[in-house]
Amino acid sequence: MAINTRPVHKADITELSHVLGRAFYDDPVSIWIMPDDKARVAQLRKFFGTVTHYHHLAGGGAEVACDGPTIGAAALWDPPGRWKESAREQLMMLSSFLLGSGFRMRTGRKLGDLFKEPLWAVVQAHPSAAVFPGGEGLAAVQTRAVAAVRDHDARLAEQHGGDALWLACTHGDVIKAVVADALGLHLDGFQRVSADPASISVIRYTRLRPFVLHVNHTGARLTSALTPAPASNGETPPDDAVVGGSTE
């Protein structure tokens, strides 16, 4: 059955929150903020359900991917000019956050205070050494993500032939880590890569090396990277880079 993407409707919020709650359960940031393994799923469901209902749904920044009637993936983002919640939205979300996500709010700490913690500097300057308390290190996140992406791409290539087009939606730092690997960049340099909300980065994997075609792209020229690679003329193997750059 074909995968269908569409805007989120109010009736989707419960199922959407369950999908995103599972997806972010082992996310390092989620583990750091919500250290209770048993409560984290419920807390994440409450969080995603609340922000979708009171913020993203009204702004049009919510879509789901469905296989038949079942929601298999979801994406939330803020359209231009809509990134900041209004005072009304904050007030409407407050009670839900306090009841369902009181894990950190009870400490009375502001998000800005977290920037002063020693771990924040490590994430910025030496991310390969960053390990979130009770959670996963960024180096392990990169290893797991790259392995999953390469394995999935290899399976699709085997099933459908080379240059099968597929889409993965995930956390910005995970995207940056996968792009850094494809660029041959050490994880300590991955903060140089940008992954804005709703942007797309395109990587073509081959037997010898990955080719990074687009990074953090939202413009019309993106379509040029979503077409199959040109057929080889018999002189240059398809896994080889074009010497001197493309001439087309």
pTM for this entry: 0.57
Report percent pLDDT > 70 for the chain: 73
Report percent pLDDT > 90 for the chain: 21
Query: Could you tell me the pLDDT band of residue 199, with boundaries at 50, 70 and 90?
Result: confident
Q: What is the DSSP code (8-state) at residue 56?
A: I
- Residue predicted with more confidence, 155 or 228: 155
Region for 163 from its dihedrals, namely left if φ exceeds 0, alpha if ψ lies in -120 to 50, beta otherwise: left
| Residue 21 CB contacts under 8 Å (≥ 6 apart), including other chains | 41, 42, 44, 45, 48
CA distance 180 to 183: 5
Average pLDDT of the chain to the nearest whole number: 79
pLDDT exceeds cutoff 80 at 150 = yes
For the beta carbon of residue 176, count every other beta carbon within 10 angstroms.
25
pLDDT exceeds cutoff 80 at 237 = no
The DSSP H or E segment spanning 96 is helix 87-100
Beta strand 62-67 pairing with 200-205: unpaired
Query: Could you tell me the pLDDT band of residue 106, with boundaries at 50, 70 and 90?
Result: very low
Q: Which domains does the chain have, with CATH numbers?
A: 4-108 (3.40.630.30), 138-225 (3.40.50.1240)
CA distance 127 to 173: 11
Region for 198 from its dihedrals, namely left if φ exceeds 0, alpha if ψ lies in -120 to 50, beta otherwise: left
Helix (H/G/I), strand (E/B), else coil: 21 = helix
CB of 180 closer than 8 Å to CB of 190: yes
Q: Which of 91, 99, 173 is nearest to 130 (CA)?
A: 173
CA distance 186 to 233: 34
CB of 138 closer than 8 Å to CB of 171: no
Between helix 138-160 and helix 172-183 the angle, nearest 10°, is 70
The two structure tokens encoding residue 230: 């040109």
Direct distance between the N- and C-terminal alpha carbons of the chain, in angstroms, rounded to an integer? 37
Residue 67 identity: D
The two structure tokens encoding residue 81: 């000019």
pLDDT exceeds cutoff 60 at 105 = no
Q: State pLDDT tens for residues 70-101.
A: 898 888 887 777 667 677 676 666 655 555 55
Residue 95: is it exposed, middle or buried by C-beta count within 10 angstroms (0-12/13-18/19+)?
exposed
